[in-house]
């Protein structure tokens, strides 16, 4: 006969309270605050809506981190929570013990529920950190209730619970401060996005990602809202293009409308653009509008002119840059001077440099090496996919001797690894890889270093030669097996 452990006192209390559907607020006033989180979790899981309505009104903590409980949204229980908030908002004077100020709908605070269920320990530091995360700018006087959420538009529609909340919030404008920290757009009609943005406090938004193909004309409809996000730190743009049908003067007008929004963004630090073409020849307009030093510039597979790179190299806002990524931007026919000047401007701060697949040749590499060798904070350097000879690669490695913080290095296979038709000679690549490794070890002790070929035209895989002898046969491609 097996013996089962008797239920804990906490579990017995939960069961008793949840059986009482007529649970009253006076009862909750006598309830120790430690019982609220486990009891609320159980009520939410079991969909005990009447209990939830009452508990929300009597919640004894500053924040209710509901988002981490909403793994799979159940509209019925979510409505119960909002009904409890309605009862709270309707009261002109709230009892002293009821402290709810923030409803957090983000999936970020699972630890809160674990602490009170006994799964983890509470520390003053953790509590302080959580309180700090709730802070957000509030226009005018303090609002009675802040709702924090992240907005993610995908699959052409919004989450059912989020849709319901936005409708509910519209009817209670003035009673709520709806604070969105992150906005992600993966695909939904622009008019629907604008409709939602009109319900949130735009100056709370700190990160925006537009990860769907937009015409420039659609971006311009979004731009005025971008300008109102005065605390924006990070912007990501994917696949934004100007239609060939737009007249040049109209395109110029659109570019000005977009770039002028950055004049209002005093805290902007991180710019990410992938496959963006409309700024070709106009990057200076954006750079002139920057109000704060940039930490990150990522422009991958974008169309840029040589003058764009020149303007970037002399922009005052890049002098504290920590990350520069120009992957996939063809620089073969550019003068190397702008890139050399750019690196010279950031030698004291640059930590990550990615020049992968830029078509850089020996003469250009030689021109940027003096500045590159002085980037004292550099820890990650990706240079694979460029057209570099064995002699130039050895010279590059010699210029990295003083980079004491470098921990990840990615270099191209030397040109001598290929035959006259551009096909990889596997044996030759292995020999040259071993020679380069010996050259490097004679200079310093590298941490992680990889020499990679150009992608296979059939399967897209790069063959790689690694630092360790046991890892020298890293990748295979469809044309040749392992090295």
Distance CA 90, CA 85 (A): 8
Neighbours of 354 (CB within 10 A): 20
| Mean pLDDT (whole number) for 381-406 | 96
- Tokens at 201, concatenated: 């406090």
Letter string b/e over residues 261-285, b meaning 16 or more CB atoms within 10 A of that residue's CB: bbebbeebbbbbbbbbebbeebbbb
| Interval 80-84 mean pLDDT | 93
Interatomic CA distance for residues 103 and 48, integer angstroms: 19
What is each CA distance from 97 to 87, 93, 312, in whole angstroms? 16, 12, 56
Whether residue 338 is contained in a domain is answered as: yes
Taking only the tens place, the pLDDT of each residue in 159-198 is 788 888 888 988 888 888 889 999 999 888 898 899 889 8
Whether pLDDT at 145 is above 90: no
Between 32 and 306, where is the model more confident?
306
Last residue of a domain, one of 97, 120, 143: 120
Residues 208 and 237: beta-carbon distance below 8 Å: no
Are the CB atoms for 207 and 183 separated by under 8 Å? yes
Residue 419 has pLDDT above 80, yes or no: yes
Burial of residue 110 (number of CB atoms within 10 Å: 0-12, 13-18, 19+): middle
pLDDT at 124 over 60: no
Instruction: Establish if 140 belongs to a structural domain.
Output: no
Highest mean pLDDT among 67-71, 83-87, 379-383: 379-383
The alpha helices in 266-389, defined as continuous H runs, are: 283-289, 306-313, 337-345, 362-372
341 within a domain of the structure (yes/no): yes
Q: Does 123 score more than 60 pLDDT?
A: no
The pLDDT, as a whole number, for residue 199 is 85
Q: Which of 120, 153, 184 is the last residue of a domain?
A: 120
How many domains does the chain divide into? Answer: 2
Residue 249: strand pairing partners: none
481 contact partners, CB below 8 Å, separation of at least 6: none
Q: What is the pLDDT, as a whole number, of residue 114? A: 61
Instruction: Give the pLDDT score at 33.
Output: 80
**What is each CA distance from 41 to 9, 56, 116, 372, in whole angstroms?**
17, 12, 10, 55
Report yes or no on 312 lying in a domain.
Answer: no
Asked whether residue 251 is domain-assigned, the answer is no
At residue 141, the pLDDT reads 47
Give the residue from 349, 348, 324, 352 showing the smallest Cα distance to 338: 324
Residue 396 domain flag: yes
Among candidates 435, 442, 374, 445, which has minimal Cα distance to 409? 445
Residue 7, pLDDT score: 52
Flag whether pLDDT at 287 surpasses 70: yes
Find the CATH number of the domain harbouring 434. 3.80.10
What pLDDT score was predicted for residue 295? 98
pLDDT of 349 strictly over 60: yes
Within a domain: 171: no
Rounded distance between C-alpha atoms, residue 326 and residue 367, angstroms: 17
Other Cβ atoms within 10 Å of 482 Cβ, number: 12
Distance in angstroms (rounded) separating the CA atoms of residues 220 and 226: 10
User: Would residue 128 be called left, alpha or beta, if left means φ above 0 and alpha means ψ between -120 and 50 degrees?
Assistant: alpha
Per-residue pLDDT at 95: 60
- Alpha-carbon distances of 157 from 166, 213, 239, rounded to whole Å: 13, 17, 21
Write out pLDDT tens, residues 230-280. Answer: 999 999 999 999 988 889 999 999 999 999 999 999 999 999 999 999 999
358 within a domain of the structure (yes/no): yes
The average confidence (pLDDT) of the chain is 84
Dump pLDDT digits (tens) for 327-342. Answer: 999 999 999 999 999 9
Residue 65 structural domain: 10-120
Provide the pLDDT confidence category of residue 314 given band limits of 50, 70 and 90.
Answer: very high
pLDDT computed for residue 468 by the predictor? 56
Last residue of a domain, one of 120, 146, 181: 120
Per mean pLDDT, which of 24-28, 66-70, 123-127, 453-457 is the most reliable? 66-70
Other C-beta atoms closer than 10 Å to the C-beta of 93 total 5
Which run of H or of E encompasses 11?
A: helix 9-19
Q: What is the pLDDT of residue 133?
A: 45
């Amino acid at each position: 006969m097996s013996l089962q452990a008797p239920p804990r006192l906490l579990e017995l209390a939960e069961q008793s309270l949840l059986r009482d559907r007529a649970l009253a607020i006076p009862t909750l006033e006598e309830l120790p605050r430690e019982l609220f989180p486990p009891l609320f979790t159980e009520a939410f899981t079991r969909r005990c809506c009447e209990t939830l309505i009452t508990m929300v009104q009597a919640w004894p903590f500053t924040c209710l981190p509901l988002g981490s409980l909403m793994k799979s949204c159940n509209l019925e229980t979510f409505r119960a929570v909002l009904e409890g908030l309605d009862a709270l908002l309707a009261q002109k004077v709230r009892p002293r013990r009821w402290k709810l100020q923030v409803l957090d709908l983000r999936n970020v605070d699972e630890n809160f529920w674990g602490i009170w269920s006994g799964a983890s320990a509470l520390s003053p530091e953790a509590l302080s950190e959580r309180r700090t995360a709730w802070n957000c700018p509030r226009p005018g006087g303090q609002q009675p209730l802040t709702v924090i959420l992240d907005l993610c538009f995908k699959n052409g529609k919004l989450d059912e619970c989020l849709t319901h909340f936005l409708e509910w919030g519209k009817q209670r404008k003035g009673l709520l401060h709806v604070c969105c920290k992150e906005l992600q757009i993966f695909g939904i009609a622009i008019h629907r996005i604008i409709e939602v943005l009109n319900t949130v406090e735009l100056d709370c938004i700190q990160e925006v990602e537009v990860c769907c193909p937009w015409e420039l004309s659609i971006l311009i409809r979004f731009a005025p809202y971008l300008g109102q996000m005065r605390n924006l730190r990070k912007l990501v743009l994917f696949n934004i293009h100007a239609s060939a049908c737009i007249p040049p003067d109209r395109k110029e007008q659109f570019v000005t409308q977009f770039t002028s929004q950055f004049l209002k963004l005093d805290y902007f630090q991180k710019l990410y653009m992938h496959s963006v073409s409309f700024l070709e020849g106009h990057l200076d307009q954006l750079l002139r509008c920057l109000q704060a030093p940039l930490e990150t510039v990522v422009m991958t597979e974008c169309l840029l002119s040589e003058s764009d790179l020149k303007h970037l190299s002399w922009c005052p806002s890049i002098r504290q840059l920590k990350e520069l990524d120009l992957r996939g931007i063809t620089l073969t026919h550019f003068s190397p001077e702008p890139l050399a000047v750019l690196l010279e401007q950031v030698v004291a701060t640059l930590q990550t440099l990615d020049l992968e697949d830029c078509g850089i040749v020996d003469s250009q590499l030689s021109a940027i090496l003096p500045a590159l060798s002085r980037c004292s904070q550099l820890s990650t350097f990706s240079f694979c996919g460029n057209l570099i000879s064995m002699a130039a690669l050895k010279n590059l490695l010699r210029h990295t001797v003083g980079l004491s913080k470098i921990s990840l290095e990615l270099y191209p296979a030397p040109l001598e690894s290929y035959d006259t038709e551009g096909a990889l000679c596997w044996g030759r690549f292995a020999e040259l890889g071993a020679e380069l490794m010996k050259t490097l070890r004679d200079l310093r002790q590298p941490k992680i270093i990889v020499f990679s070929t150009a992608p296979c035209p059939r399967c897209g895989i790069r063959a790689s030669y690694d630092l360790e002898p046991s890892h020298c046969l890293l990748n295979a491609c469809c044309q040749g097996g392992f090295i």
